[in-house]
Amino acid sequence: MDGNGRWAAKRFMPRGVGHKAGVDSLVNVVKACSDRGIPYLTVFAFSSENWKRPEEEVSGLMSLLIVALSKHLIKLRSDGVRIRVVGDVAQVSDKVRQALADAERQTAENSRLVLTVAFNYGGRWDIVQACRKALDAGVRSDAMTEEVLSDFMAMSYAPDPDLFIRTGGEVRLSNFLLWQSAYAELYFTDCLWPDFDSSELDKALHEYARRERRFGGVNVDPSESRGAV
């Protein structure tokens, strides 16, 4: 969800205003995905590299997360959205960690759409933590397969993403879902995240629908995907 800061700068506003606008965009996109029958949506809310940003901005992002959950959680819960969190949350404050845990707990029974929030997350971190868990579980080297390691990844509960969307004009993965996105269709747009609405989502979905998915072998109809974004 890239481009919040640039969106604000274009309007001569503080970056924090852009992040707030980004939250509103996220809420709208969650609803749009739910309305379109997409069962899984994963968003990169805070990367392990984001700690390098100015302390004031990082602090503002943490506070914004707590405020956003307080403001939108009831509506998300009533709309059937289940919130799950992946990432090294042990590194964040007790207050933030509690807010994330409460969101997971209060929506645990929902199933219309699983909204995974990647927070203090990195794709390389995910692979390393999966290897450590596998070793702790006693998995032998000769028993290690892709399928076995996948069971230890942070998002083992969800299908691999079919469509990877990045806004803001950047064309790279930036350490997001490196393992899971091996065969995802990549879609990059210059649209800044606060401007990404249902019509922009439909553009991405239409582009996805016209592609032939081969997975290294035979073609696969995009309509047969599991609907993970």
**Catalytic annotation, residues:** 2, 50
Q: Quick one: 140 exposed, middle or buried, by C-beta within 10 A (0-12, 13-18, 19+)? A: exposed
Helix (H) or strand (E) holding 185: strand 185-188
Name the residue among 190, 195, 193 with its Cα closest to residue 171. 190
Sign of CA dihedral 117, 121, 127, 133: negative
In Å, how far from its chain's centre is CA 218? 29
User: Encoding tokens for residue 227?
Assistant: 């609907």
CA 7, 11, 14, 16 torsion-angle sign: negative
Give how far Cα 136 sits from Cα of 128, 130, 132, 140, 149, Å.
12, 10, 6, 10, 12
Residue with tokens 């995907």: 225
Distance CA 88, CA 40 (A): 21
Cα angle value 114/76/97 (rounded, 5°)? 75
Asked if 53 and 16 touch (Cβ cutoff 8 Å), the reply is no
- Mention every residue, 6+ apart, whose C-beta is less than 8 A from residue 31: 79
